[in-house]
Amino acid sequence: MIRFARDMMRVLRTPCREHVALFCREHDAPLSRGEAFGLRVHIVYCGGCRRFREHLLHMRLLGHTLAQLAENEPGLPADVRERLNARVASASKKN
Amino acid sequence: MVTDTDHPNRSTAEAASIAVSSSDSREVAAQRWIAEHGDVLWKFALARTRSKDAAEDIVQDTVLAAMQGFASFKGGSSERTWLLGIAAHKIADHFRRVRRTKSPATPAISPDATCMCATCRGMFTEKGMWACVASKWPDMKLSETEKAEQAEALRACIDALPPGQAEAVWLRDILGIPAGEVCKAMDLTDTNLWSRTHRARVALRSCLETKFGLRKDKRR
């Protein structure tokens, strides 16, 4: 409980630049409960951070679309596969 | 959000896989990588470089480097992620070479710095509060064509990121590989990865605002 309150207060006292870093970090690692709650409270009254978070979510969705587009591309062409296998064979002979 | 804790049994499964892999000769292992992971490596390299020749070179260099480093693969990440990590380094090297030969008139969109970088300095006041009024972006309830157009804009913005940042953000945000695996594959600490992805996302946001025609320099 003390840690929760301490983390929350630390987040609420820091400027928006630090909140942006936390919003980004949230995508890579879970924040502590206090940090996460502090951020949720902050975005209630900070339009800039709220918008930034929306933009991050928007970029995530675009990332999924981009992943689908990349996934729909054809795979390794047969001629490239052959050349790669030949190159691997010659490299292992050299060693 | 995919996290490392989503794969609690991976280490056991990988340990078995490594034991099998270790018994393979390097050539057999390399041929297996080409067969099993060739498509993924090719799509990754092609999506980043958009050149079939460059993609072929990258996949080839990745497989040859993996053959050399086969003994050092300790199974901290899946075999596919390990290969993608090697490919990410090769792609970053490719772009460093390309940028060295290009004129300096095409700078990367975000300089290599902490969050006091030029991109952030434009966003915040000296006290770290918002300086620019962020614009509302187009709604995500778009047609498939519009979504594809916006995704292509994102791809163009990723292309403009510094090498290293672009690969980290591609592995994390596009391929959705857990952060812990990206760290192991790219040989980064957690903090290094957070720093790279933070700078990359801030820069991508600014770049997309410009692409969507929403960039404002309005001061609060």
| Domain ranges for chain B | 4-211
- The percent of residues above 70 in pLDDT, for chain A, comes to 98
Which chain B residues are closer than 8 Å to A75 by Cβ? 38-39, 42-43
Condensed to tens digits (0 to 9), the pLDDT of residues B21-41 reads 454 578 888 889 999 999 999
pLDDT, position B191: 92
CA B38 to chain centre: 18
Q: Give one DSSP letter per residue of A46-80, joined into a string.
A: -HHHHHHHHHHHHHHHHHHHHHHHHHHS--S-HHH
Testing the interface with A: which of B110, B133, B137, B167 to mutate, by most A Cβ within 10 A? B137
User: Angle, to 10 degrees, between the axis of helix A47-72 and the axis of helix B144-159?
Assistant: 100
User: B212 or B112: which carries more pLDDT confidence?
Assistant: B212
CATH of domain B4-211: 1.20.140.160
Condensed to tens digits (0 to 9), the pLDDT of residues B78-115 reads 888 889 999 999 998 888 888 777 654 444 444 333 34
User: Which helix (DSSP H) or strand (DSSP E) does residue B207 occupy?
Assistant: helix B190-211
- Put simply, the chain A residues between 3 and 62 with a CB less than 8 A from any chain B CB are 14-18, 20-21, 24-30, 46-49, 51-52, 54-56, 58-62
Which chain A residues are closer than 8 Å to B34 by Cβ? 76, 81, 84-85, 88
- The percent of residues above 90 in pLDDT, for chain A, comes to 63
- Provide the pLDDT confidence category of residue B136 given band limits of 50, 70 and 90: confident
Whether residue A11 is predicted with pLDDT greater than 50 in this model: the reply is yes
Q: Is the Cβ pair B129, A49 closer than 8 Å?
A: no
What is the amino acid identity at position B46?
A: L
Whether residue B144 is predicted with pLDDT greater than 60 in this model: the reply is yes
Global pTM exceeds 0.80: no
Whether residue B72 is predicted with pLDDT greater than 80 in this model: the reply is no
If you average pLDDT over residues B155-174, what whole number do you get? 90
Sign of the torsion formed by the C-alpha atoms of B153, B159, B160 and B162: positive
Confirm if B6 and A67 have CB atoms less than 8 A apart: no
β-sheet bridge partners, residue B219: B132
Rg of chain B on CA atoms, in Å: 19
Q: Which two tokens stand for residue B102?
A: 């290009």
